[in-house]
Structure 1
């Protein structure tokens, strides 16, 4: 573990930072900026919103880490991204006299399957799981060429944004935001290269807009996320050949997404076809039984 209270040693090329919820102390920020200006690299997992599903409460994170993020041409928005392609949570519901846990899709847990195929860092990935991620924008890139930004991963084209008032309840019957997913894809992770105006050295940042991405009780529990983190570390340390070898590993085979109209068609097909087959088989047995009865009558009178 690195303590930013002290100067980061020169033999350290990369630090991983996860989910800051407050501003850095003056000497902590100074040591971090010195490290980055001297060519240090950072993998940062950081949302703009602190959210807790258990209490269903969310609040804006105020931290000067966002000033450092902005210096890399990346702007974390004060919102949460919802995506139709998402994880599931168990919701307690009354089922007659019983109260049972019912699994429900939860758009605030985006499952990312849209990656920048031109980036070796993510081109071999199949999916990544995020928790309460914020949108990243790249409209503040300096025009002097000192910063170069490349997008890494996006939500699907059935997305939306939640801002201002954060209703985290997963049941779409009481929370219409869970089904109002009609916006285009949102940027959720990006890579940036920044040339220091002081030293001229190149520093790299990989930003994932999820404050729990590296935590054991969040994204750290997902095997697919481990591949991304290892790729990011190898990329920032210059060991890019290892990424190509790792990309050959099959982590997941998600089912292809189909339109809602197709889902309805297949639903009715699966309901009607078995019914038709059962009725048809019944008619066949009935005709066969009648034919047998007539044959017995002819034989025995």
Structure 2
């Protein structure tokens, strides 16, 4: 009896000790093959910066399609992982049914989904959004971002794969104390502010934006360079006037001193608005006087327009019904629709990007690493300029054999130590501390000045990611935002966009076809087996003990 009591006492104290140790030492184990619940070093660093209460509201609660229940579960598990790392993080899952109008006013637009259940299609509306509040800062997180996906299941998989990036990106925004500075260059006929509004508004949420004119170079070049050097990134959006030698040297020294640059350049004068107004236009080469500068960095933008059979649509009046003109959306081969590099964080999973009257880029051999970001399809034709382009040509049936020029490079990332274009040349003005070679630096060059240009509707800027006439969605805004984030990212945060997860999804058609079999297998068969075992066991006992 004493031995039994000793054993019971030991077991009791062992359980108490185990509970005590378990309460003090907490460890979570990620047993998934793709380590989907293992946080990156970047995310851990961001979480450790949270020293006050941070609230995350997730509007994925209530009745919605079973397949999107997976998104709710994955989001909850990911946020619980964040909460386990920092007790200052609080999580709330909220049913949005009674607050839809408020959410829409805050910018959280609902998603309309097509749901297939029991072989029938139906529509469902969900609010795949989260809201992060930290002090006075509030940041919205899209849990179902627009992505290049062939099906709803693939879009769901992309959304789950990007959960860590989406939340880490927003956490970085609300916790950063000092914003990096972005200069939007002017003075050479660049795009007006209203035509860059959609893009700059989004950039301004994370970075300090300011307009910077190069006009002052003529009067005080050294002071202009010092002013420009205070910025981390310069955006050059569709200049239309020649750059002077003094302006080029200023940009060159900004780059060699570590300044990042995002170039959106048109080497051909061609504009859709002119085409609509007159029905035809003359496309001709535009001399920006930047050839030698870009050549020294390892690229050349040519003057040949790219026609692509994989193209965006434009609306055209094709007839009248009564007094009302009838419009039809037709493929316009001068507006290539371009897919992104699937292996780079800037372009992974983004929607196709629309170009307008773009030209091709050649890369030159030097010590700079060149990564293609956006390339046309293989079905392209190169058009020399000057050339008269007629809107009526849209009715011509394309001959596929003429579109045989292959993939054309339209946007490229350059990384490395850039040599100054003025290294062995006479400088247009005396400069203090001239640098002939940069530290490790980056720039992105795009051969279309209109890539970041939003449309205007009733005098107000329209969303860059949507065409106001066709309602087609494009990846222009996402591409440019990712490009800016990549150029200004010192922590490796943007690389989280490359995270990939493989979800095992249910084959709905097969499940519906085999529904009766699996209902029998899971419900009826276990009952039959249980009944058979009970009957057999009873019969055995009766026979044995009778």
- Deviation of 1:177 after TM superposition, in Å, equals 6.6
Shift of the 116–67 alpha-carbon distance from structure 1 to 2, 3 Å rule, reads same
Match of residue 286 from structure 2? 61
Match of residue 342 from structure 2? 117
Correspondent of 2:481 among 207, 230, 239 = 230
Match of residue 214 from structure 1? 452
Using CA pairs below 8 Å that are at least 6 residues apart, which structure has the higher relative contact order?
1
Deviation digits for residues 251-270 of structure 1 (CA, Å, limit 9, x no counterpart): xxxxxxxxxxxxxxxxxxxx
Query: Is this contact kept in 1: 2:284–2:385, CA < 8 A?
Result: no
Match of residue 357 from structure 2? 132
Deviation digits for residues 39-92 of structure 1 (CA, Å, limit 9, x no counterpart): 211010112111122333222110122322222211111011111111111223
* Structure 1 alignment gaps of length 5 or more: 249-301
**Larger relative helix fraction:** 2
Give the secondary-structure state (helix, strand or coil) at the position aligned to 2:451: coil
Match of residue 163 from structure 1? 384
Match of residue 3 from structure 1? 213
Give the secondary-structure state (helix, strand or coil) at the position aligned to 1:185: coil
- Deviation of 1:123 after TM superposition, in Å, equals 2.4
Instruction: Tell me whether 226-235 or 1-10 shows the greater mean CA deviation.
Output: 1-10
TM-score between the two structures when normalised by the length of structure 2: 0.41
Match of residue 365 from structure 2? 141
* Structure 2 alignment gaps of length 5 or more: 1-210, 217-223, 276-280, 420-435, 457-461, 466-473, 500-546
Tell me how far apart the structure 2 counterparts of residues 12 and 28 of structure 1 sit (CA, whole Å): 16
| Matched pairs, number | 243
Query: Is this contact kept in 2: 1:72–1:193, CA < 8 A?
Result: no
Shift of the 101–247 alpha-carbon distance from structure 1 to 2, 3 Å rule, reads farther
Deviation digits for residues 196-243 of structure 1 (CA, Å, limit 9, x no counterpart): 441441232201111111222399722621111111111111256443
Tell me how far apart the structure 1 counterparts of residues 486 and 310 of structure 2 sit (CA, whole Å): 27
Tell me how far apart the structure 1 counterparts of residues 298 and 377 of structure 2 sit (CA, whole Å): 23
CA radius of gyration, larger in: 2
Tell me how far apart the structure 2 counterparts of residues 177 and 22 of structure 1 sit (CA, whole Å): 35
Shift of the 43–160 alpha-carbon distance from structure 1 to 2, 3 Å rule, reads same
- Deviation of 1:136 after TM superposition, in Å, equals 0.7
- Deviation of 1:141 after TM superposition, in Å, equals 2.4
Tell me how far apart the structure 2 counterparts of residues 240 and 135 of structure 1 sit (CA, whole Å): 32
Match of residue 253 from structure 1? none
Instruction: Report matched runs for 1:52-131 at 5 Å.
Output: 52-56=271-275, 57=281, 58-94=283-319, 100-113=326-339, 115-131=340-356
- Deviation of 1:23 after TM superposition, in Å, equals 1.4
Give the secondary-structure state (helix, strand or coil) at the position aligned to 1:243: helix
- Deviation of 1:245 after TM superposition, in Å, equals 5.2
Query: Is this contact kept in 1: 2:244–2:289, CA < 8 A?
Result: no
Match of residue 184 from structure 1? 406
- Deviation of 1:173 after TM superposition, in Å, equals 6.5
Instruction: Report matched runs for 1:16-35 at 5 Å.
Output: 16-35=235-254
